[in-house]
Amino acid sequence: MNLQINQNQINETHELHLTGEVDAYTAPKLKEVMLPLTEKDGSVVVVDLSGIDYMDSTGLGIFVGALKSSKANNSSLKLRGMTDRVKRIFEITGLTEVMDIESGVKGEAL
Partner 1 sequence: MTAKDALTERYQDLLSVYLKAKTETTLYKGQQFSRKLLEQQISPEDLVSLHIQVMDELFPDMSEEMRDSFDFLLEAMIGYGFAYREHQSLRDKQQQLESEIEVAASMQQTLLLSDVPDFDELDIGVVSVPAKKMNGDYYNFVKSGSSLSVAVADIIGKGIPAALCMSMIKYAMDSLPEEQMKPHLLLENLNRVVEQNVHSNMFITMFHGVYEPESHKFFYAGAGHEPGFIYNAKEDRFHDLIAKGLVLGVSRTTTYHPYERVIEIGDMVILLSDGVTECRTSKGFIEREEIVSLIRKYMDLPAQQIVQNVFQELDRLQGFELRDDFTLIILKRMV
Residues near partner 1 (CB under 8 A): 24, 31, 56-58, 60-62, 64-65, 67-69, 92-95, 97-98
Q: State how far Cα 84 lies from the chain centre.
A: 15
- What's the closest the beta carbon of residue 48 comes to partner 1, in angstroms? 21
Considering the complex, state which of residue 51 and residue 61 has its C-beta at the smaller distance from partner 1.
Answer: 61
- What's the closest the beta carbon of residue 58 comes to partner 1, in angstroms? 6
Considering the complex, state which of residue 24 and residue 110 has its C-beta at the smaller distance from partner 1.
Answer: 24
> What is the distance between the terminal CA atoms of the chain, rounded to a whole angstrom?
24
Considering the complex, state which of residue 5 and residue 35 has its C-beta at the smaller distance from partner 1.
Answer: 35
In order, the DSSP letters of 18-50 are: EEEEESTTTHHHHHHHHHHHHTSTT-EEEEEEE
For residue 100, give Cα distances in angstroms to 10, 45, 67: 20, 11, 9
- What's the closest the beta carbon of residue 75 comes to partner 1, in angstroms? 15
Q: What angle do CA 6, 21, 50 make, to 5 degrees?
A: 60
- What's the closest the beta carbon of residue 31 comes to partner 1, in angstroms? 7
Considering the complex, state which of residue 98 and residue 110 has its C-beta at the smaller distance from partner 1.
Answer: 98
For residue 16, give the DSSP letter: E
